[in-house]
Every structure is written in C-alpha cells, then in structure tokens.
C-alpha cells in the first residue's frame, strides 16, 4: 500500500472531541480534595515592599493558607533564560515571587489557597501590603536616563546590546549617493490565547512524585528548571500536556506560576490548581513587540540597496525572562528581510522598564523588522521616483545566491543563512493573483468618500529550530499503533499531521495509528517542544526516522515468528506478513517499539509576499480591507488545509497588531488595558476579505520532508503591508505612518498634519 | 440556593451560592466542561449556551437565574454516533484549531441557523462578532456556517 | 474574576421588589445583567443583595400609540430589533439600537438596565436625551416621571434613588415626515461608540428646519444635547452651508475626554463629522 496522506487536506482527528465539547483543557481537571490558588499581584509599577500582612485573609472561611516569599527557604528561586542564556542577563532575571521589590503591575506577591476561587478572591482583598513607591520607568526613553533603576546592582536599565553586523556599513554610508533615516515604532501587544494559562499540581508524598498538568510548548525544559528549583530529581516530575487553547509563542514558557503552584501543592500535600483569569492574563502573560527603530538606509539612485544601519530599542518590561531576548535579537538580524543588503550594522538595545516582561509572540522581532524596513522602502521609492514593486524586485535575494548569508549577531555569535527558494517568483505570483496591474490605477483615488491604497511587501519566516526532536512508535495490545512525540501541541493540530506522516512512512491506513501522544514528559526520552515554527519540520522528520527503525524492529521480530528472513516481512493493516501468504496479527508484537530522532542545526526559511488593498475614511481615520492576499512558499505542505489555517490565522493576528491591539500604560506605569473591552482583538467583522495561496515550489534541502516552518508567515508582514497601503491611500495628504497600531486617532492626526502643511 | 432547570433535555437540580454564574455551575456542578471561560466579563463568547432557545453568555448570567429554563450546551448539540451537519462543516473547513472558542461558536451558530437558516455571510459575521477566535482568522468559520445552513433549511423556505 | 458574595431575590411584584431594595442598604436590581455582571466580576460593585426583575409582570411590553412609544424597562435589545413596527414608529431608536453590543448580549440586555447603568457612550441614554424621553420610575416613595434631561448626572450615575426601579421609558410621538439621522463610530462592531450623534427636525411650510434636536454620546460624562447644532438648524434650510455650520457647532459644543481608545481632539472632530453625516442622511430621507 502506497499512501499519500502527506500533501492531502486530511481532516483533523482532534476535531472529533473539540466539536463535541469533549476536549480536556487544564481547567477541566477536578481531582478530589482540590485547592484553588489565587494570586495577589502588584498594583503598583515600582516600589519596595515594606510589609505583607495576610492575617485577615487567613480568617476568611475556606481559606487554607497564604504563601509568600518568606515561605521559601533561601529566598524565591529565579526563572532562568531558556534561549540566549547570557551571563549579562543574570542580574535582570525574575524571582518567582516578589520579595523585596515590585517591578511591574501584575507581579506576584502572594498565593492564596482556598476551597474555591471565589473565596480566594474574597481573601485577596484582605491582604495588606505596604509599599514604598519608587519613580516608575514607563518607557525605554525614561529607562535610558538611568535615573530610576529597576536593578541597582548592574547600575543600568540596559540589559544588553545586540550587534548585528555584515560587511562595512559605515564605509558604504560615507559615499552613498542617497540615504534616508527614519524613526519608526511598533506598539506593545501580545500572544493572547483564548484559553488563559493554567497549572495544576499533584504531589504524592508517599512516592515522592509530582505531577504537573497544564504543560505546553517546552515541557522537558520546564521540568529541568522546576526540578532544580524545587529540589527533586527530574524523573520524579511528570509534566502533562492537556488540550491547549492556543500558544503563539507565549504559552508554555516558564512563568512564576509554574513554580508557585507545584511548590504550593507540595507544601500543603493536596492537589492545587491555578487558572489564570483574563485580567491577570493581560498583565501576566508575556508581552511583546514594543520597539523603536532609528534606522538609515543607503541606496544607489536606481534603488539598489547598499546598506542599512542604526539602532533599535526594545522595551523589555521588568525582567529578562526565558525567551525574552529573541525579539530584540531577531529584529537586528532580520531587519534586511528577504533583500540583498551587503552591509548591515544594527545595534539593538534591551531596556528594562516597569511593565510586564516580554517574551516571544509569533514572528518575534520579524514583525517589527518587516514593518521598519518595508515602511522605509516605500519612503525610499517615493524619494527616488522608483516604482515600489520594481524596488523590491531589484533587491530580493535571488535563487542563484542561495544559501545566502545574513548578518551575524554578537554576543551570541549567531550566524545564519537563507536555505533556498525563489523569492522573486513568490512576489510575481502574488502580484498576478492580486491583479496588481489592474488595481494600480486606484492608488490614492478618492471614491465615494474613501481613499484607496495598495501595498505589496515581502517577507521571510525562519523555522525548524534545532537541535533535535524525538518520536517513538509502539504496537498496542490490539494491534494498532501509537505514536509518541517529544514536541508539543499548542492547538495547531499536530496529532493529525504526525499521523499522516507516520501512516505514509509505514504504508498503512491512517486509522491504524490509534493515538498520537505529545507534549508530556512521560512519552519519550527527550523533547524540545513547539516554538519557532518547528513542530512539523523537526517532529515530522523524527517520525520518518522512527518509522524506519520501527519497520526494522518489526521485520526482526516478525522474521523470528514466521521463521524467515527479515527482508521478507511486510506490514499490512493489522498484520505482519511473510513469504507464502503467511501472516500474523500485529497484536502478537504488542509492546514492540522503536524510537527515532532528527537532528538539525540549520534553519528553514519559507518566504513570500503580502499584497493589500485598503480604503481609508480620512475623517474617521478608519481603514477597511478590500482585498488582502498572502502568498507563501512553504517547501512542502504536509496538510494544506491546516497550513491555510495557519496562514490566515496568523494573518488576522498580524492585522490585529497592525490595527487594533495595544497594551497601554500611563506615565506611572499603571496598566490601562485590563479587559477585553480595552485590549481589542480582531472579531469576525473586522477583516473579512483575506485570502492566501500556499506554494510548494521549493522544498527545503535540509530535511527529509522538504517542509519549512510556516506558522508565522501571515503575521510577519501584516504591519508593513497595512502601513504602506494606508500611506498610499493618504498620499495626497503626505501621510507617512511611523507607528503601529494604526488607530483612528493616529491616522486622523496624520491627515490633519498633512492638511495644515498644505495650507501653509 | 437550590435551582432546577433542564440541561440538554435532562432535569438538573443543584445547590449553588447565589454568586455562582451559570457557566461555573455547568462546568463545576454538572461537569459539562465543554462550556469554556475565556474572559468572564462578557466579551469573548466562549461561554455561550442556549437558554430557552436564545444564545446567551453563561458568564453573564447567574445560575439561579436559570431556574425553570431549558439550557442547551455544546454537549447537547452533539451525539456519539456521528458529527452533526454543523460539526461536519466545521471539520471540513478547518474552522477550529485549538478548539477553545469552538463550543461557543457552535452554540451561537446553531441558535442563529435555527432562527435564520437563510442568513447571508454578512449576517453570520455580524452575529459571530461576539465570539472571539484567536486561531483561525474567522474565514473558515464563516465558510463552515454558510455550508451548514442547508441542514437547517426546509424545502418550503422555512426553518426546520 | 469570580463575583463577590451577595444574596439573591426574585420577587414576583414590583411592590415586593421596591420593598426589598428599600429594606437593604446595599441592594441592586439586576435586569439583563449584561453590564452589572462584568462590574461584579471586576469587583467594581459589591451589593449585598441582587433583586432580579425578570419575573415582574408587564415590564417587557412595547406599546406604540398616538402619544408615542413606550418601552417597558425589561424590553431587550432583541425585542426592539424584532419589532418591525418600531422602524416606522421611531426610526432613530431602531437605528441606534442596531449598534448595541452583540447577538448574545442583545438577548438579555434591557432598556431599563441601560438607562440605569448610564454609560456615557451607550445608545439608549443618548436617544432618550435627544428625544426628550420621560423615564417612569417606582420607589418606596411612589411613582414619579423623570425627564431624560434630569436623569443622567454623571458616568454611571443617575437621578434614581437606591430603592427606585425604572418601569418604562416614553418617547414622544414621532411624526411620519420628520427628518432624522443617527451616526456613530466605534473601533469594532458592537463596541461602545467613540462618539455618536442622533438628531432630528421637522420642516415648516418653507422647508426650513424647526424643532431641531441633536445629542451626542461618548463625548462627556453623560450623553449631551448639542444645543449649538439645534440653533444652527432651527429656521434654516438644511443645505450644505447649514450642514457645515452645524458640524462646526457640534465640535464647539463638546469638550470630550482623552482615553485609551481616542484622544480629545479626535473625538471633537468626530462629533462634527458624525453631525455632518447625520444631516446629510436626514436630508436624503
Ligand atoms: C461586550 C459588551 C458590549 C456592550 N456594548 C454595548 C454597546 O455598544 N452599547 C450599549 O449601550 N451597551 C452595550 N453593552 C451593555 C449592554 O447593552 C447592557 O445590556 C446594558 O447596558 C444594561 O442592561 P442590562 O439589562 O443588562 O442591565 P443590568 O446589567 O442588569 O443592570 C445595569 C445597571 O442598571 C441597574 N438596573 C437594571 N435595571 C434596572 C431598572 N429597571 N431600574 C433601576 N435600575 C436598574 C442595575 O442595578 C445595574 O446597576 C455591552 C455589554 C457587553 C458585555
Ligand atoms: S467567558 Fe463569557 S463572554 Fe467570555
Ligand atoms: S480555534 Fe483557537 S481560539 Fe478559536
């Protein structure tokens, strides 16, 4: 049997339970004797704790205990960096609970354990915390003054500067025929998941085992941290991944609660569950994206890019946490995007401020970089009188230049290269499918009170972060097969994708793969998780390896049973077959299993283009999308149906960041957007006219599937495309958006400024 | 306080604090965990259930207010044997990823199609504007609901 | 975000309900709960008793008569949407209510709850104020009728005494040939408006506007009347020049706040734009 599940729009297995309301998310777990944890969080941005008095809270009937830093012998443990664990970041890392200083609104101060959440919340109001306020550092510019310091010991609010370098930028700028410098800003927003986070911990004092439910993304890594912090061997801790209501980079990193809840469960020797509520989620889950670029481009008169230099300043929030440095690094390394830029010099500063710490959000640093560069390119095209599309055609890295080396970054010594592809072809396909030439005449046109604008921008998406991923196949008692994965699900549908790959590799029907287990530390010896668009590429390649080993194991075992040569053994549905029509049920081999792995140091780069046609009501500052197209070459789409879902889903997230979503603080660092009526997510009526085309023209040469990571392509270029389309629509006003999100107020102000200028 | 109502066709009697929302009552007392909580302040729609035929946010309703009502949750719109036409259309169009918003969207769409089986895409978008989905970007959801309309239509142009 | 503790009562008569409110220091009615429940969830309100109005008889009636439209306090947004008579009997009411919230919320949210909640950006209070509505209430001291202009005192603050329940709102009769417009702008569909404008006028024999009424939401602590707009319209033909003058007057009439969704200058301009558009729409009717 030769299968072709790979490449088919196979309907998802997960759907059967989700559609019936039978998913099991962490809040759906309710063991006997459960205590609920509720967390008291800082209501001030910056201050020193002088006292915490929980005695009144303890009087509330139903309250079991209140945990603070004082209960942790040796002080609260520190959350280490997962990615870029540089010594420079050490002084800026976060204790799991505040003990002396408070550095952001939302920082945990105390944990109340109670018989219900409601009672826990009643008690929160009764905990008296005395705080001596310290002047708040509300943005990177204030941070740069280094007057009020978040951390006294290092004596600066800047935790690091990444340097991205390629060639000799300063030399190029000295003689460049044309240069242009701009200041551009992206707004703070985040990977809000519809399911808030949650952790449930069960401690079995008898066996010394700790079970932690609610794991996601990187359970093996988090187990390592927790084991160390809590003083248990790793194998005494089991991390269980349940159904997960969205990840987007933000869920599953190690947060305070990932220590506090297991710690509490062990303290009180009862199961403890904490479910983040939405208000907490808005101030406790990693923020992202707030960045300002002061960058300069050098070009030849024909628009050929000669160099790029400047500074980027990222508002890191109050602590360096797990993967928080990734965005600031990426923005520097990928500022040049898919374009041939021979000379690059970008310094990217990481500033500590009194806000929620940042972490990655889908397309970390890439969304920002794309907005900065693509905005700059349209301004350059205007200046030089070069067609915007031609400018991009001229500068895209061509397929003959692959692999193409990009800027390397210090101090991490990150070197990288683009693996393969025909960037120009994707751009042309996008223009054709979008009917760019037909629409071009609409640029700037005022029709029925609305200005029309177009834009096309290009992007690359990095994926498939190594180093390794693992998979195991096993024969079940009933002769079906189970697949155990080291990667995680964050709701993308990995169960289906991996079953497709395994069924193809084993040449059996998909329903023979009865279960795909993932994300929990019990299933395989090691695993690396779901981030950097890596699950399908890394996990899928590991499945191929495991399948080969599994087939070999079945051949060996089968040969013994049927008394023949291993090479004569085959697998057919629920049997293994030998020569002469001999066969036995696979169930006879129950328990047989084989592991496989995929190791990889290189990254895949999928790529493509976004085209946008918008209209703007200049008086309202309101933008509507008439048509929006994403074309992305993903190398190989294991499941095209799901891939389209990834592209459109991430696109609408990107449009949210471009137009709506904005985490806001005042000058005192007070958090202003604590509800979903304040933090505006895209709804079904906001962006109806979006579409995508997925190409498979250039498989990746660096993995056996040929797949490239492809969960971020929709989001990365959304800010750049929307800002450029709006600028194009409002060109009669000379409007040049320099910040995101493109709010009605901001666009109206740009129009007003243009009108004032015209009047003068 | 004691409350009695029917849930998915079965009588339910529970004893709850007055302050308990219908959502928490369904999830905690009746263990109907298909009804999800995405915000608890009325914006996300994940908690949508059908009360006496009308879609409502169960986080914005007290359990005691359901006294005497007929409540239908996503579990009540499902069966073991097969997916319903609405569910089938969702699966076909990949109208869900993480599945967290899905129960609220299924209940809302069911209420809508039961009342307005001939609604157009704009109306579907308008109605679903009260249900946040972070994964899909909505396009596939609208396609799925459009496709499912047929199962709610009668040959004579009325609703089934 | 669980609710604070409270007791709950679901009286069968208005008298009982009033008595419950009067006898508890800190009781609150609950109608649709679509504003009160979020307030409780954020613990921005913590009443000791909730008095559910859902069983009170006759509060969900919509009556349309020669002297106007009467909406019972428990009439839901959904009921207004479904009652096709209202589109002729009171066109700006139907138009304004079409902007309120979302499908599921519209199945519970009520006219009385919206008036009592008095969100400065809510549509119903804006319509009530602009249309000179009267709000009939019953309390321990008996019944009284409060003109809308005296009702809204501040954000979430009204002239209601703690034991008073809104029974109905009365909108004066709507002549068939009256010209009107309603315009609002919000960031997303169903959100509270950044600003909204409702206006209407009659025309005299010469085609000049008389009896002009204009009001705005989302630009002050309460809904406000745009008296400058009314003056700019009365006695004038509603032509381009009048519309421009009225739009300028609208912006001059308001002193809006800054908030996270829009700043003051934008909102001021927006009120002008919405007034202009409402007038253009009114002239086309
Ligand atoms: C996501 C969301 C979006 C929304 N968008 C909008 C919008 O765009 N425009 C808009 O106008 N509204 C909006 N709302 C609010 C909604 O319309 C509410 O339904 C309405 O404002 C209040 O009506 P209610 O019946 O739910 O009142 P409740 O929440 O029950 O009560 C509100 C207040 O009024 C009091 N009260 C209620 N009834 C009476 C009465 N008869 N007499 C005296 N006091 C009474 C209560 O004690 C309480 O203080 C939105 C709500 C949500 C959750
Ligand atoms: S949980 Fe009810 S609307 Fe979000
Ligand atoms: S499927 Fe994840 S939120 Fe909708």
Average pLDDT, chain C: 97
pLDDT on residue A494: 82
Instruction: Match domain A465-599 to its CATH number in 3.40.50.300, 3.40.50.360, 3.40.1710.10, 3.30.365.10.
Output: 3.30.365.10
Tens-place pLDDT, residues A451-499: 999 999 999 998 877 788 889 999 999 999 999 988 777 666 788 899 9
Q: Sort out which chain C residues have CB atoms less than 8 A from A683's CB and list them.
A: 188-190
Q: Which of B1, B21, B57 sits opposite C104 (nearest CB)?
A: B57
Protein residue whose Cα sits closest to atom 10 of ligand 1: C122
**First-to-last C-alpha distance (Å) of chain C:** 47
Contact in structure between C228 and C242 (CB atoms under 8 Å): no
- Give me the DSSP letters along chain C: -PPPP-EEE--SSHHHHHHHHHHSTTEEEESS-TTHHHHHHTTS---SEEEE-TT-TTTT-EEEETTEEEEETT-BHHHHHH-TTHHHH-HHHHHHHTTSS-HHHHTT-BHHHHHHHT-TT-HHHHHHHHTT-EEEEEETTEEEEEEHHHHEEETTEES--TT-EEEEEEEEP--TT-EEEEEEE-SSTTSPPSEEEEEEEEE-TTS-EEEEEEEEESSSSS-EE-HHHHHHHTTS--SHHHHHHHHHHHHHH--PPPBTTB-HHHHHHHHHHHHHHHHHHHHT-
Chain B positions in Cβ-Cβ contact with residue C50 (cut-off 8 Å): 18, 62
Give yes or no for residue B158 having a pLDDT over 60. no
Mutation to probe ligand 2, out of B57, B63, B102, B132 (largest number of atoms < 8 A from CB): B57
Q: Cβ–Cβ of A19/B139 closer than 8 Å?
A: no
Please indicate if any CB of chain B lies within 8 Å of the CB of A648: yes
pLDDT at A243 over 70: yes
Show which of residues 109-138 on chain A sit within 8 Å of chain C, judged by CB atoms.
116-118, 121-122, 125
Among protein residues, the one with the nearest Cα to ligand 1's atom 43 is C165
The predicted model gives A52-67 an average pLDDT of: 98
Distance (Å, whole) CA A584 – CA A606: 45
Q: Over 90: is that where the pLDDT of B67 sits?
A: yes
Question: ipTM score of the complex?
Answer: 0.97
Residue C162 clears pLDDT 90, i.e. is over it:
yes
Shortest distance between the Cα of A147 and any Cα of chain C, in A, equals 28
Cross-chain Cβ contact B60/C107 below 8 Å? no
User: Average pLDDT, stretch C4-19?
Assistant: 98
Name the residue in chain A with its Cα closest to that of B123: A685
Which pLDDT value is given to residue A3?
80
A-to-B residue pairs, Cβ atoms closer than 8 angstroms: 181
**Distance (Å, rounded) from C-alpha A294 to C-alpha A140?**
13
Tell me, using a 6 A CB cutoff, whether residue A447 lines ligand 3: no
Q: How far is CA A660 from CA A247, A308, A361, A402, A682, in A?
A: 20, 30, 16, 37, 7
Q: How confident is the model at residue C285 (pLDDT cuts 50, 70, 90)?
A: low
Residues C214-241 have pLDDT tens digits of 999 999 999 999 999 999 999 999 999 9
Round the average pLDDT of chain B to a whole number and report it. 96
Q: Do C270 and A673 touch (CB under 8 A)?
A: no
Q: Does the beta carbon of B132 sit less than 6 angstroms from any atom of ligand 3?
A: no
What atom of ligand 1 comes closest to residue C156's alpha carbon? Answer: 49
Residue A601 has pLDDT above 90, yes or no: no
Ligand nearest to the CA of B105: 3
- Ligand 2 midpoint to CA B131 (Å): 9
> What confidence score (pLDDT) does residue A242 get?
92
Which is the closest atom of ligand 1 to the Cα of C186? 8
CATH 3.30.365.10, domain A421-462+603-760, yes or no: yes
Q: Mean pLDDT across chain A, nearest whole number? A: 95
Cα A668 to the center of its chain, rounded Å: 29
Which residues between 91 and 150 in chain C have a beta carbon less than 8 angstroms from any beta carbon of chain A? none
The Å distance, Cα A508 to ligand 3 centre, comes to: 31
Would the pLDDT of B72 be above 90?
Answer: yes
Q: Which residues have C-beta within 8 Å of that of residue A501, sequence separation ≥ 6?
A: A5, A6, A540, A543, A544, A547, A638, A705
Q: Is the pLDDT of residue B156 over 80?
A: no
Q: Lowest-confidence range among A207-216, A595-604, C270-279? A: A595-604
SS3 B27: helix
pLDDT at A2 over 90: no
Chain A residues with CB inside 8 Å of B36's CB? 25, 194-195, 245
The mean pLDDT value for C16-41 works out to 97
What's domain C7-52's architecture?
A: 2-Layer Sandwich (3.30)
Chain-chain contact of B35 with A676 (C-beta, under 8 angstroms): no
pLDDT, tens only, A107-145: 999 999 999 999 999 999 999 999 999 999 999 999 999
Q: Which fold would CATH assign to domain C62-172?
A: 3.30.465
Rounded Cα distance, A623 and A611, in Å: 15
Write out pLDDT tens, residues C189-201: 999 999 999 999 9
Chain B residues whose beta carbon lies within 8 Å of the beta carbon of residue C108: 56-57, 60-61
Domain boundaries A136-188+286-414, CATH class:
alpha beta
Pick the residue from chain B with its C-alpha nearest to C49: B18
Which residue, judged by its Cα, is nearest atom 23 of ligand 1? C113
What would the pLDDT profile of A210-240 be if each residue is shown by its tens digit?
999 998 888 899 999 999 999 999 999 999 9
Nearest to A744 among C1, C192, C266 (CB): C266
pLDDT over 90 (residue A718) = yes
Q: How confident is the model at residue A360 (pLDDT cuts 50, 70, 90)?
A: very high
Residue C184, beta-bridge partner list: C196
**Residues of chain C positioned with their CB less than 8 A from the CB of A121:** 1-2, 4, 43
**pLDDT number for residue A532:** 64
Per-residue pLDDT band at A154 (split at 50, 70, 90): very high
How close B22 gets to chain C, by Cα (Å)? 12
Whole-angstrom Cα distance, residue A3 to residue A47? 63
- pLDDT, tens digit, for every residue of A423-460? 999 999 999 999 999 999 999 999 999 999 999 999 99
Q: What is the pLDDT of residue A1?
A: 54
Greater pLDDT, B65 or A517: B65
Q: Which of C266, C271, C274 to mutate to test the interface with A (most CBs of A within 10 A)?
A: C266
Centroid of ligand 1 to alpha carbon of B24 (angstroms): 21
For ligand 2, whether the C-beta of B61 sits within 6 Å is no
Which of A414, A684, A744, A707 lies closest to A539 in space, CA to CA? A707
> In angstroms, what CA-CA distances link A502 with A285, A495, A511, C165?
35, 11, 11, 66
Q: How far is C201 from chain A (nearest CA, A)?
A: 25
Cα(A142)–Cα(A342) distance, integer angstroms = 34
pLDDT given at position A559: 93
Backbone angles phi, psi at C117, to 5 degrees: -70, -35
Mutate to test the pocket of ligand 3, among B48, B102, B104 (most ligand atoms within 8 A of CB): B102
**CA C260 / ligand 2 centre spacing (Å):** 22
Neighbours of chain C (3+ CB pairs under 8 A): A, B
The CATH superfamily assigned to C182-284 is CO dehydrogenase flavoprotein, C-terminal domain (3.30.390.50)
Chain A contact for C77 (CB, 8 A cutoff) = no
Residues of C with Cβ-Cβ distance to A117 under 8 angstroms = 2
Is A538's pLDDT higher than 90? no
C3 touches chain B (CB under 8 A): yes
Banded model confidence at residue B159, pLDDT cuts 50, 70, 90: low
Q: Is the pTM of this model over 0.95?
A: yes
**Of the CATH numbers 3.30.300.30, 3.20.20.70, 1.10.10.10, 3.10.20.30, which one belongs to the domain with range B2-76?**
3.10.20.30
Please check whether residue A47 is in contact with residue A125, taking contact to mean a CB–CB distance below 8 angstroms.
Answer: no
Q: Is B24 in contact with A181 (CB distance < 8 Å)?
A: no
- pLDDT for res B101: 98
Distance from CA of A565 to the nearest CA of B (A): 44
Does domain A31-134+191-284 sit in CATH 3.40.50.2300? no
In DSSP terms, A150 is beta-bridged to: none
Asked if the model's pLDDT at residue A734 lies above 90, the reply is yes
B131 lines ligand 3 (CB under 6 A): no
Q: Do B44 and A193 touch (CB under 8 A)?
A: no
- A-C contacts at Cβ under 8 angstroms: 60
Distance C83 CA to ligand 1 centre (A): 20
pLDDT in tens, B21-43: 999 999 999 999 999 999 999 99
Torsion, CA C17, CA C23, CA C24, CA C26, rounded to 10:
80
Q: Which two tokens stand for residue C52?
A: 């559910």
Local confidence band at C243 (pLDDT 50, 70, 90 cut-offs): very high
- A278–chain C Cβ distance below 8 A for any pair: yes
Question: What are the Cα distances from residue A470, in Å, to A491, A507, A600, A687, B4?
Answer: 19, 20, 12, 39, 51
Q: How far is B155 from chain A (nearest CA, A)?
A: 27
Average pLDDT over residues B82-101: 97
List all chains that touch chain A, counting a touch as 3 or more CB pairs closer than 8 Å: B, C
Q: How confident is the model at residue A533 (pLDDT cuts 50, 70, 90)?
A: low
Residues of chain A with CATH 3.30.365.10: 136-188+286-414, 421-462+603-760, 465-599
Nearest CA-CA partner of C80 in C130, C132, C32: C32
B85-153 CATH, one of 3.30.565.10, 1.10.150.120, 3.40.640.10, 1.10.340.30? 1.10.150.120
Do the two domains B2-76 and B85-153 of this chain adopt the same fold?
Answer: no
Evaluated on CA atoms A723, A749, A450, C103, the torsion sign reads positive
């Amino acid at each position: 049997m030769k299968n072709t599940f790979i490449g088919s729009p196979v309907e998802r297995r997960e759907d059967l339970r989700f559609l019936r309301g039978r998913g099991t998310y962490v809040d759906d777990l309710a063991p006997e004797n459960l205590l609920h944890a509720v967390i008291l969080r800082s209501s001030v941005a910056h201050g020193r704790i002088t006292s915490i008095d929980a005695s009144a809270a303890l009087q509330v009937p139903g309250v079991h205990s209140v945990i603070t830093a004082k209960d942790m012998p040796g002080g609260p443990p520190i959350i280490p960096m997962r990615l870029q664990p540089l010594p420079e970041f050490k002084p800026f890392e976060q204790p799991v609970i505040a003990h002396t200083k408070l550095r952001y609104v939302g920082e945990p101060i105390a944990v109340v354990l109670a018989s219900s959440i409601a009672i826990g919340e009643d008690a929160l109001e009764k905990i008296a915390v005395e705080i001596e306020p310290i002047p708040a550092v509300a943005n990177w510019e204030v941070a740069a003054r280094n007057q009020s310091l978040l951390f006294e010991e290092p004596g600066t609010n800047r935790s690091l500067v990444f340097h991205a370098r390629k060639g000799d930028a300063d030399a190029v700028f000295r003689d460049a025929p044309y240069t242009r410098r701009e200041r551009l800003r992206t707004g703070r927003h985040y990977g809000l998941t519809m399911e808030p986070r949650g952790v449930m911990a069960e401690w079995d004092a008898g066996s010394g085992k700790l079970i932690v439910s609610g794991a996601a993304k990187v359970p093996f890594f988090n187990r390592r941290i927790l084991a160390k912090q809590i003083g248990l061997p790793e194998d005494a801790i089991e991390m269980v991944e349940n159904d997960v209501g969205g990840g987007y980079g933000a869920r599953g990193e190690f947060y305070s609660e990932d220590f506090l809840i297991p710690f509490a469960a062990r303290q009180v020797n009862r199961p403890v569950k904490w479910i983040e509520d939405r208000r907490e989620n808005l101030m406790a889950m990693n923020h992202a994206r707030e960045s300002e670029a002061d960058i300069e481009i050098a070009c030849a008169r024909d628009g050929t890019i000669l160099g790029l230099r400047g500074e980027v300043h990222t508002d890191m929030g109050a602590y360096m946490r797990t993967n928080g440095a990734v965005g600031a690094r990426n923005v520097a390394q990928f500022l040049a995007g898919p374009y041939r830029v021979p000379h690059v010099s970008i310094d990217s500063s990481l500033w500590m401020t009194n806000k929620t710490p940042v972490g990655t959000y889908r397309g970390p640093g890439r969304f920002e970089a794309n907005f900065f560069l693509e905005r700059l390119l349209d301004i350059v095209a205007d200046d030089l009188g070069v067609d915007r599309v031609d400018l991009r055609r001229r500068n895209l890295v061509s397929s003959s230049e692959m692999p193409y080396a990009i800027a390397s970054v210090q101090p991490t010594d990150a070197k990288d290269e683009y693996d393969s592809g025909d960037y120009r072809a994707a751009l042309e396909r996008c223009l054709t499918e979008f009917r760019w030439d037909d629409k071009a005449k609409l640029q700037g046109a005022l029709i029925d009170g609305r200005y029309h604008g177009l834009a096309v921008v290009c992007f690359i998406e990095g994926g498939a972060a190594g180093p390794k991923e693992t998979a195991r196949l096993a024969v079940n008692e009933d002769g079906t097969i189970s697949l155990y994965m080291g990667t995680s699900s964050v709701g993308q549908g990995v169960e289906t994708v991996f079953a497709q790959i395994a069924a193809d590799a084993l040449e059996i029907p998909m329903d023979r793969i009865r279960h795909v287990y993932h994300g929990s530390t019990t299933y395989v010896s090691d695993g690396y998780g779901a981030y950097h668009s890596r699950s399908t590429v890394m996990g899928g390649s590991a499945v191929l390896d495991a399948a080969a080993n599994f087939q070999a194991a079945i051949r060996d075992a089968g040969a013994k049973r049927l008394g023949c040569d291993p090479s004569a053994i085959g697998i057919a549905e629920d049997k293994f077959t030998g020569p002469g029509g001999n066969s036995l049920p696979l169930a006879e081999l129950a328990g047989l299993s084989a592991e496989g792995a995929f190791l990889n140091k290189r990254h895949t780069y999928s790529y493509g283009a976004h085209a946008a046609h918008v209209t703007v009501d200049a008086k309202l500052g309101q933008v509507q999308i008439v048509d929006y197209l994403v074309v992305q070459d993903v190398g190989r789409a294991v499941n095209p149906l799901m891939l389209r879902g990834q592209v459109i889903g991430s696109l609408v997230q990107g449009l949210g960041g471009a137009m709506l979503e904005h985490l806001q603080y005042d000058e005192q660092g007070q958090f202003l957007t604590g509800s979903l009526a304040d933090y505006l997510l895209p709804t079904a009526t906001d962006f109806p006219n979006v579409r995508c085309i997925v190409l498979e023209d250039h498989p990746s040469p660096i993995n056996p599937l040929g797949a490239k990571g492809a969960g971020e392509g929709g989001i990365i270029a959304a800010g750049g495309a929307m800002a450029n389309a709006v600028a194009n629509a409002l060109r009669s006003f000379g409007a040049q958006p320099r910040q995101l999100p493109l709010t009605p107020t901001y666009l109206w102000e740009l129009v007003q400024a243009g009108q004032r200028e015209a009047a003068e | 306080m004691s409350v009695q109502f029917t849930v998915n066709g079965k009588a339910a009697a529970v004893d709850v604090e007055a302050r308990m929302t219908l959502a928490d009552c369904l999830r905690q007392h009746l263990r109907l965990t298909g009804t999800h909580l995405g915000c608890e302040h009325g914006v996300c729609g994940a908690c949508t259930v059908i009360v006496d035929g009308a879609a409502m946010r169960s986080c914005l309703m007290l359990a005691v207010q359901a006294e005497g009502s007929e409540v239908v949750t996503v579990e009540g719109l499902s069966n073991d044997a097969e997916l319903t036409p609405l569910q089938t259309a969702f699966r076909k169009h990949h109208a869900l990823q993480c599945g967290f918003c899905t129960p609220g969207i299924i209940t809302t769409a069911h209420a809508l199609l039961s009342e307005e089986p001939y609604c157009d895409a704009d109306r579907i978008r308008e109605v679903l504007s009260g249900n946040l989905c972070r994964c899909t970007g909505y396009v596939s959801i609208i396609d799925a609901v459009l496709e499912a309309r047929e199962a709610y239509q009668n040959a004579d142009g009325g609703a089934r | 975000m669980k609710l604070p503790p409270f007791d709950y009562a679901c009286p069968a008569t208005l008298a009982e309900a009033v008595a419950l409110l009067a006898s508890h220091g800190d009781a609150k009615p609950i109608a649709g709960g679509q504003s009160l429940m979020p307030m409780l969830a954020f613990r921005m309100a913590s009443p000791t008793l909730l008095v559910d109005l859902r069983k009170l008889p006759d509060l969900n009636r919509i009556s349309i008569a020669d002297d106007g439209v009467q909406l019972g306090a428990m009439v839901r947004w959904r009921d207004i949407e479904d009652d096709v008579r209202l589109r002729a009997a009171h066109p700006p009411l139907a138009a304004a209510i079409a902007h309120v919230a979302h499908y599921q919320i519209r199945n519970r949210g009520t006219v009385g709850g919206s008036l009592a909640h008095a969100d400065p950006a809510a549509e119903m209070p804006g319509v009530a104020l602009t249309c000179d509505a009267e709000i009939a209430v019953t309390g321990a001291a008996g019944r009284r009728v409060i003109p809308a202009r005296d009702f809204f005192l501040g954000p979430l603050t009204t002239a209601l005494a703690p034991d008073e329940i809104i029974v109905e709102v009365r909108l004066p009769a709507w002549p068939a040939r009256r010209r009107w417009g309603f315009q609002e702008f919000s960031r997303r569909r169903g959100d509270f408006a950044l600003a909204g404008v409702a206006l209407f006028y009659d025309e005299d024999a010469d085609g000049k506007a008389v009896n002009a009424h204009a009001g705005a939401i989302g630009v002050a602590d309460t809904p406000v009347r745009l008296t400058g707009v009314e003056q700019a319209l009365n006695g004038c033909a509603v032509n381009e020049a009048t519309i421009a003058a009225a739009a300028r007057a609208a912006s001059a009439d308001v002193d809006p706040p800054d908030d996270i969704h829009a700043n003051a200058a934008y909102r001021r301009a927006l009120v002008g734009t919405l007034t202009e558009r409402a007038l253009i729409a009114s002239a086309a009717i």
